Amino acid sequence: MNPTDLPAAVERDANFNFGYLDERTKRMIRRAILKAVAIPGYQVPFGSREMPLPYGWGTGGIQVTASVIGPQDVLKVIDQGADDTVNAVSIRRFFQRTTGVAVTERTVEATLIQTRHRIPETPLAEGQVIVYQVPVPEPLQRLEPRETETRRMHGLAEYGLMHVKLYEDIARYGHVATTYDYPVMVDGRYLMAPSPIPKFDNPKLHMNPALQLFGAGREKRIYAVPPWTSVESLAFEDHPFEVQRWSQPCALCGSTQSFLDEVIVDDRGGRMFVCSDTDWCRQRRPADA
């Protein structure tokens, strides 16, 4: 990043409580988080509040982050893998303003990462917390919109509906036609929506040393994957789970192991592929790039 592009420092606004939420609300959310950690993959209803940002724009993640953040935390916020997309900037500014904590773009420096749609390429470490923004926490919602029904299915671990959906994909297309928010089984018990991360990221959920928290503000649910928990992407023996691959490396850093975004560079079909994880890409490039 060019030094002149560095964002202006955001002052802590003392008119607001630390992390915006009042302490009672934070306690209520922490209780929901504790329950979620105790029952990996189970969606815990919580008294989601109206936040100063719109529902559907990360209010669940924001409430979770606001409830676990402390003055010593170092916060990283990404959207689509990038620290500089507008919504990530907006959420980071919100926490700078309401907590005054240090922020970073480096995955390794962060103690707390709030993310939308990606898991960083840099492996997470023990002690880190990653908070996912979740639009639709119920993996079965598109198959069965009634929550009274889906709760029963979770209770009975009756996930045939999802298996049939995957099977129908295979029968029709020869492969599963879900590319993001690909359903996973947590700790062999609960079917879980990993949020709309590309299925490329699904393997990173499995046995991750970091604490993974999921917040759905509009739908008022919190769930969690504790460190070192098994997370399996649904598949069949003869149709194993596969992730996306690209035929070319990142045009900027040459990475062949990262998720690539396609950038259209002209109106004649020209395009390039670059890492969606901007920190990963930057760390791999020479300092003068």
Would you count residue 134 as binding another protein (CB under 8 A)? no
Task: Looking at residues 79 to 98 of the shown chain, list those that interact with another protein (rule: CB under 8 A).
Answer: 79-82, 84-90, 93
- By beta-carbon proximity to another protein, the closer residue of 98 and 208 is 98
- By beta-carbon proximity to another protein, the closer residue of 181 and 279 is 181
Going 167 to 169 to 171 to 174, the CA torsion angle's sign is negative
Least distance in Å: CB of 188 to another protein?
A: 26
Dist. CA 42–CA 44, nearest whole Å:
6
In contact, 182 and 202? CB cutoff 8 Å: yes
Catalytic position from the list 19, 41, 60, 215: 41
In contact, 197 and 181? CB cutoff 8 Å: yes
250 is catalytic: yes
β strands within the chain, DSSP E: 44-45, 74-79, 102-103, 112-116, 129-133, 184-186, 190-192, 211-216, 221-225, 231-233, 260-264, 271-275
Two tokens at 258? 């990262």
Length in residues, the chain: 289
Catalytic position from the list 19, 60, 61, 281: 281
Least distance in Å: CB of 149 to another protein?
A: 9
Would you count residue 270 as binding another protein (CB under 8 A)? no
Residues that bind another protein (CB under 8 A): 1, 5, 7-8, 17, 20-22, 24-25, 45-52, 54-57, 59, 79-82, 84-90, 93, 116-118, 135, 145-148, 173-174, 177, 179-181, 196-200, 218, 220-221, 244, 246, 251-252, 259-263, 272, 274, 276
